[in-house]
């Protein structure tokens, strides 16, 4: 059990004053952006990628981890106080949470969400520390064909399962793969899709793509559809819970965690389904069925825990295999690439210190969230009064700053605008953003794994399925595709029934 020792070392390096400061910063920033409309954790991490030039990797990832967990917390705050879930994962929280708030129980709703998130986050992170190294030790033994198969599974799963239109998901994915092609081919040294522009020979910097798609695309899209009427907000004091609330919350927290973590850990499980399942379960098991639909605390406690546990679960494939399955994880992976770290199954062996510090900082960030945010809830509610012109001008400003800092070339700003317009177009035409980002990041690795696999078999296509794991994974993809058609038909009507 060397892992306990590793984790202890991780805590030791995460608890230095400098790193604690970065953790606090990340948690506060993450919550703020989670609360603010139009800006989320993925965009924030993308905007902060320039810090990777001069801040050491551990500190940067400690901050990113804080933003990741904090964003989720902030998102639940707005869905409770305003009934406008920013992300699909907090839709379910809003159902009961906003009803509670309107019934004068905002403080309890926020408290059960915060404490539930803390418990789910703590358990989830512990499970992450338990599973990820084990998976990683298995994964390093995998050859290129198997690794290729797993990446293909992740790409297909993220594209097909999340989002409403599979066709549009795949369009987004292949746009991403095409962007990933730009640059010099590593094997033959020829440039691809550079159009003779030397600045493109290193490829398009992922910082520029991520910032453009998330920040510029979103800001332009919001500018086109600015909401003019203010939202109705429920005033809130300091969150707290009574004994009865605790009694009714603790089981939903644990059940929600049990739903969320496995869904997060498998590629494309996402947070939407486990939060929904948790809600349905709590509604079935509750002793107060009459309160459901009018503000039942179980309906907030369970889904919130599921949401956070799924966030922790998402880090399992990310840290053990280098597979990002949500937007924030994808941008964090881009940051790793920025540090020259090769994200993949070797992470746990080659970057052991960094990874364990990151895991330790997840525990710390989770605790900080609870300690800092319970008293700060009214402050976060005030943040919503920021005038929109400043909010979006600020987003555009920092996005340009981030892109400019990459190479100090105006050319990157031009790319930023081009991809920003692409992001705008994607939002207009209902193309999901995540497959594109993951396509850009995984595309080059998929290609290189494919070429290496076929190198081993000297060009024989059967080389792709030369390993048992690869065979199993491809079988899974086929099974999944068939299963998806069936589930897709069954799932929609039920979701509709609950949200209406």
Of 18-26, 180-188, 200-208, 298-306: span binding another protein (CB under 8 A): 180-188
Contacts of 409 (CB under 8 A, 6+ apart): 199
Q: Which residue has the tokens 């306990």?
A: 4
CB atoms within 10 A of CB 358: 24
Strand 183-184 and strand 191-192: pairing?
antiparallel
Q: How far apart are CA 259 and CA 277, in angstroms?
A: 8
Q: How far apart are CA 407 and CA 398, in angstroms?
A: 15
What phi and psi values does residue 264 have, to the nearest 5 degrees? -70, -35
Min CB(413)–another protein separation in Å: 5
For helices 468-499 and 272-285, give the axis angle rounded to 10 degrees: 50
Binding mask of the shown chain, residues 104 to 143, with x at each position contacting another protein by CB under 8 A: ----------------------------------------
Of 48-56, 238-246, 350-358, 483-491: span binding another protein (CB under 8 A): 48-56
Residue closest to 147 by CA, chosen among 367, 320, 378: 320
294 scored as a contact of another protein (CB under 8 A): no
How many amino acids of this chain bind another protein (CB under 8 A)?
95
Min CB(95)–another protein separation in Å: 9
Contacts 24+ apart (CB under 8 A), 164-172: 164/430, 165/430, 168/429, 168/430, 168/431, 168/432, 169/431, 169/432, 169/435, 170/435, 171/431, 172/426, 172/431, 172/432, 172/433, 172/434, 172/435, 172/436, 172/439
Min CB(332)–another protein separation in Å: 19
397 scored as a contact of another protein (CB under 8 A): yes
Q: Is 404 exposed, middle or buried (0-12, 13-18, 19+ CB in 10 A)?
A: middle
Q: How far apart are CA 441 and CA 294, in angstroms?
A: 44
193 scored as a contact of another protein (CB under 8 A): yes
Of 46, 114, 208, 381, the one binding another protein (CB under 8 A) is 381
Of 288-296, 311-319, 365-373, 407-415: span binding another protein (CB under 8 A): 407-415
Of 313-321, 323-331, 363-371, 423-431: span binding another protein (CB under 8 A): 423-431
Q: Which of positions 307-366 make contact with another protein (CB under 8 A)?
A: none
240 scored as a contact of another protein (CB under 8 A): no
Min CB(347)–another protein separation in Å: 25
Of 1, 2, 141, 229, the one binding another protein (CB under 8 A) is 229
Min CB(457)–another protein separation in Å: 8
Of 17, 196, 198, 225, the one binding another protein (CB under 8 A) is 225
Q: How far apart are CA 454 and CA 464, in angstroms?
A: 7
What is the DSSP-derived secondary structure letter of residue 196?
A: T
Q: Which is nearer to another protein, 347 or 416 (CB)?
A: 416
404 scored as a contact of another protein (CB under 8 A): yes
Q: Which is nearer to another protein, 8 or 187 (CB)?
A: 187
417 scored as a contact of another protein (CB under 8 A): yes
β-strand partners of 68 = none
84 scored as a contact of another protein (CB under 8 A): yes
Of 126, 135, 140, 178, the one binding another protein (CB under 8 A) is 178
Min CB(482)–another protein separation in Å: 19
459 scored as a contact of another protein (CB under 8 A): yes
């Amino acid at each position: 059990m060397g892992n306990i020792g590793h984790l202890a070392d991780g805590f030791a390096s995460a608890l230095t004053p400098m790193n604690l400061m970065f953790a606090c910063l990340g948690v506060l920033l993450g919550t703020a952006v989670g609360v603010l409309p139009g800006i989320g954790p993925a965009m924030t991490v993308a905007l902060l990628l320039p810090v990777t030039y001069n801040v050491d990797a551990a500190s940067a990832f400690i901050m990113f981890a804080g933003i990741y967990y904090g964003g989720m917390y902030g998102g639940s705050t707005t869905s409770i106080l305003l009934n406008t879930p920013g992300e699909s994962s907090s839709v379910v929280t809003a159902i009961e949470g906003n009803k509670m708030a309107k019934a004068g129980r905002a403080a309890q709703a926020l408290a059960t969400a915060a404490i539930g998130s803390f418990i789910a986050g703590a358990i989830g992170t512990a499970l992450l520390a338990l599973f990820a190294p084990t998976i990683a030790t298995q994964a390093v033994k995998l050859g290129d064909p198997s690794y290729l198969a797993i990446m293909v599974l992740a790409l297909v799963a993220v594209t097909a399962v999340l989002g409403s239109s599979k066709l549009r998901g795949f369009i987004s994915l292949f746009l991403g793969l095409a962007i990933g092609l730009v640059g010099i081919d590593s094997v033959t040294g020829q440039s691809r899709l550079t159009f003779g522009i030397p600045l493109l020979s290193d490829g398009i910097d992922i910082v520029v793509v991520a910032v453009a798609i998330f920040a510029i695309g979103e800001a332009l899209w919001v500018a086109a559809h600015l909401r003019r009427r203010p939202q109705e907000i429920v005033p809130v004091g300091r969150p707290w819970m009574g004994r009865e609330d605790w009694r009714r919350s603790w089981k939903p927290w644990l059940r929600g965690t049990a739903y969320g973590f496995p869904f997060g850990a498998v590629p494309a499980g996402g947070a939407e389904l486990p939060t929904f399942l948790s809600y349905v379960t709590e509604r079935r098991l509750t002793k107060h069925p009459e309160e459901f639909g009018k503000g039942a605390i179980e309906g907030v406690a369970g889904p919130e825990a599921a949401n956070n546990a799924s966030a922790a679960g998402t880090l399992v494939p990310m840290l053990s295999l280098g597979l990002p399955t949500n937007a924030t994880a994808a941008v964090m992976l881009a940051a790793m690439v920025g540090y020259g770290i090769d994200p993949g199954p070797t992470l746990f062996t080659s970057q052991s210190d960094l990874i364990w510090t990151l895991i330790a900082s997840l525990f710390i960030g989770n605790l900080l969230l609870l300690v800092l945010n319970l008293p700060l809830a009214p402050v976060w509610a005030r943040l919503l009064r920021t005038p929109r012109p400043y909010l979006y001008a600020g987003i555009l400003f920092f996005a340009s700053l981030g892109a400019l800092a990459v190479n100090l070339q105006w050319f990157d700003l031009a790319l930023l605008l081009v991809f920003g317009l692409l992001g705008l177009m994607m939002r207009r035409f209902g193309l999901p953003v995540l497959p594109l980002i993951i396509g850009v990041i995984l595309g080059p690795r998929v290609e290189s794994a494919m070429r290496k696999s076929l190198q081993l078999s000297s060009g024989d296509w059967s080389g792709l399925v030369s390993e048992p794991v690869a065979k199993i994974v491809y079988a899974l993809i086929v099974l999944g595709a068939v299963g998806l058609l069936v589930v897709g038909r069954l799932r929609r009507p039920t979701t509709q029934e609950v949200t209406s």
